[in-house]
Each structure stands twice: as C-alpha cells, then as structure tokens.
Amino acid sequence: MPTPRSTALAAFQRRFGRAPARLVQAPGRVNLIGEHTDYNDGFVLPCAIDRGTVVAAAPRDDRVVRVVAADLGDGVDEFHLDRPIVPRADATWTHYVRGPVKHLLAHGHALAGADLAVSGDVPQGAGLSSSASLQLAVLQAFKGLGRLDTLAPSRMALLAQEAENRFAGCDCGIMDPLISALGVEGHALLIDCRTLDAQPVPLPAGAAVMIVHSRVRRGLVGSAYNLRRQQCETAARHFGVKALRDLSVPMFEARAIELDPVVRRRARHVLTENDRTVAAARALAAGDLREMGALMAASHDSMRVDFEITVPPVDELVRLLQQVIGDAGGARMTGGGFGGCVVALLPESLVPQARDEVARHYRSPSGEPADVHVCHASNGAGDLPLQDG
Ligand code: GLA
C-alpha cells in the first residue's frame, strides 16, 4: 500500500530526477471538544492524528521554489522568492505552500530556493485540518533546509495562521496549526488559545478515538465561518470585553437580553463550550468517560441549536453513535461545521458495534456510506528518517 511517505519520495525522484535531502511530516487533527472557541481566546481540546502530510525536500542553489502535489495528478507550482508571491486562483492547494513561504519571508527569515514533493492522507474538506497539516509540513521542510532552527513550534503555528488568514482568506483560529505543531502521542492537548499554553491530557487506557466522516463535504473559506466569527465579536463589543473568553456565563446571562437573539445564541455557545472544554480535560485526566460523554453530547446540542453549524446527516450520525455508546463515552460533530466528521470517544470493545451501526444505518445525502477511522493520538510536526526502518 502506498503511504504519503512512499508517494512523496517517489514523486520527488520522478519530478526532480534526484533524491531529497529531508523528509518531514505534519499531522491533521481531531478536536475532542471546544468548537469555535479558539478565535474567542478560549479553550480547545484537540489531538493530532495519525494522518498527515509528508513533504520530501531538497535545497536549490537559486531562488526558485518548485512544488509537485503527488496526490493531485502531479500538479505543479513554481514561484520565485524575490518576486511578489500571490495566490493562484486556479489551484487553491498552492495557497498552503505559497502562503507560509510568503509569511516566513515577511517576518525576515532568510530562505533559499527548494524543490518539494507533497503527499498526504488527511481527507480534504472533512474538518480534519488538511490545510493546517500541509502548511505546517511546508514550514517544517523549510526549517529543515534552512537557518530556521530557532523557529519554535508555536511560532510556526502563528505563521501558518497568519498565512491562512491573509493569504488563503479564511479567518480561522490558532487551534489547527497549533495542534499540528505541538501534538503529543497518546494525549489530547488542553490549549488556552489566549496564552497558547498547552497542557497534555492523557487519553484513558482502553479508550478509542473514532472519526466518522459523514461524506458531506464542507468548505471553510465559506462565508458562514467568517460570519460566526463576526457575530462573536459583536457580542464581545457589546459587553466591552476584548474577547468572549473574558465573560463568565452568569455575567453574560445577566445582560443577554440586550443582544440580538442570533448573536445571543452564538455567544452562549462559546461561553458554555469554554466551560465544557475545561471540564472535559478534567474528566479525561480522571478517566471519566461517562462525564466526558455527557459534555460531548451537550457540546453537540449547543452547536446544533445555538451555533447552528451542524447539518441533519451529521446529527443523525451522532445519534446513531450515541445509541451504541450509551454512557460509556460520547460523540459529537468535530471541526468548523456544515458537514465533515463526527468524533466519538468510546471503549475499544464497542468499536465493532459502532462501526456496524454506522455501516447499516447511515448514508450521506448522495448515498455514500460513512468513512470510519479509529485514530491514534500522534506527535506534532517533525522530521522523518529518509531511509525506511
Ligand atoms: C476550523 C478552524 C479552527 C476552529 C474550528 C472550529 O477548524 O480552522 O480555527 O475555529 O474550525 O472550532
């Protein structure tokens, strides 16, 4: 079976006729709880997953960057480090290569030209951060090739976020690049998105993290995400605080009536979700899957009713999984919303039954079965050995 590693290595050789000097990877992620809280300076609890992007790279002695996308029929990109780096409307994947490079340069990092071959196995449009994973892998590749040894993982995440906001045009928060940079094997991270403090929380022994893709594709650069963000900012401004993070639920409830009803519901989701996320980290650390499941269910309901980012097929998937899991764990939609994936945390012994239930009873609106992946919480971006084994 070809892997992103073997595919990237083969594409590099095929396209550039030489061997790469570095091989790097950066993972996708699944968020256990804490949705749409990151850009409100709140809390998130994601883990990096064992699906990601691999980049094979070698330096060039000129100022040209050439890229081959092995999974996209060997699509290519080429740009010059000393000429304006602008988005290519005909190939959006190139945003996630050009953007980080442009922002590295903008921050004064000295780069040389490079050849890059890219391959990944994070499903696109599934809400598992294929774009952050690609950006972090590109940054990691340049780090390996250049004089960027001092580029700390959290700095790389901030650069990736800046590139996604300014180059790709999505106002997304820090969660995805940060967990792709900092992931810890076997752990979720409780991230304070204001301070970027990240506390590893061990996943309980015997618990499986199951990702179920509804096959309803989602687009993040869509207006719905940016609109949610604006609504949250409107609520924060109304209360005279920097971000919704600065409000407690009681402070909010006391004056919530002053808000437009839609803005009120958006803000209520964020405030209650922050509290749930901190409680979930405690529950996980204590191995309390029952409490974790209750918090995940409340999170899903809040996304469905207050934040209005779920869609009926995803609600149905969550319901099917909750039925199997009962109070032994939980399930909720994960990621930005409007399709994508459901995450379930459940005893390993229930995985076959959960798979079976989904296979029997779920079809996407276009008739496809869901795609199930039991994942392993993994390390963040890093170098891979060039030789296998
Ligand atoms: C997307 C964004 C993240 C975060 C989530 C919702 O994944 O990239 O920054 O806002 O949506 O939690």
- Residue range 14-66, pLDDT digits in tens: 999 999 999 999 999 999 999 999 999 999 999 999 999 999 999 999 999 99
Q: How confident is the model at residue 204 (pLDDT cuts 50, 70, 90)?
A: very high
pLDDT of residue 303 exceeding 90, the answer is: yes
Query: 325 C-alpha to center of ligand 1: Å?
Result: 26
* Active-site residue (options: 115, 121, 176, 306): 176
Instruction: State the pLDDT at residue 389.
Output: 61
What is the pLDDT, as a whole number, of residue 252? 97
The predicted structure's pLDDT at residue 148: 79
The verdict on 206 and 305 lying in the same domain is: yes
- Indicate the residue among 188, 219, 242 that finishes a domain: 188
CATH at 285: 3.30.70.890
CA–CA gap between residue 52 and residue 122 (Å, rounded): 5
Q: Which residue has the higher pLDDT, 138 or 110?
A: 138
- Domain tally for the chain? 2
Asked if residue 360 has pLDDT above 80, the reply is yes
Q: What is the mean pLDDT of the chain?
A: 95
221 band by pLDDT with thresholds 50, 70 and 90? very low
* Predicted model pTM: 0.96
248 lies in the same domain as 342: yes
pLDDT at site 218: 72
Same domain, 96 and 183: yes
The whole-angstrom separation of Cα 20 and Cα 336 is 35
- Domain membership of residue 312 (yes or no) is yes
Pick from 169-183, 221-235, 281-295, 351-365: least confident: 221-235
Among the three residues 188, 207, 226, which one is the final residue of a domain in this structure?
188
254 burial (CB, 10 Å; 0-12 / 13-18 / 19+) is exposed
287 and 139 in a single domain? The answer is no
Residues 173 and 275 placed together within one structural domain of the fold:
no
208 and 240 share a domain?
yes
Are both 209 and 144 inside the same structural domain? no
Same domain, 297 and 263: yes
Give the three-class secondary structure for 67.
Answer: strand
Structure tokens at 142: 């340049």
Instruction: Tell me, yes or no, whether 389 lies in a domain.
Output: no
91 in the same domain as 70: yes
Ligand 1 binding pocket includes 41 (Cβ within 6 Å):
no
Residues 154 and 269 in one domain: no
Where in the sequence is the domain holding 134, given as residue range(s)? 4-31+46-188
Nearest to residue 297, comparing CAs of 346, 360, 340? 346
Q: Of 188, 211, 238, which residue is a domain's last?
A: 188
203 and 120 fall within a common domain? no
Q: Are residues 61 and 171 in the same domain?
A: yes
Instruction: Check pocket membership of 176 for ligand 1, CB cut-off 6 A.
Output: yes
Q: State residue 125's pLDDT score.
A: 79
**Residue 370 belongs to some domain of the structure:** yes
108-124, pLDDT tens digit by residue?
Answer: 999 999 999 999 999 88
CB of 306 closer than 6 angstroms to any ligand 1 atom = no
Catalytic annotation present for 306? no
- CATH number, position 52: 3.30.230.10
Q: Is the pLDDT of residue 220 over 80?
A: no
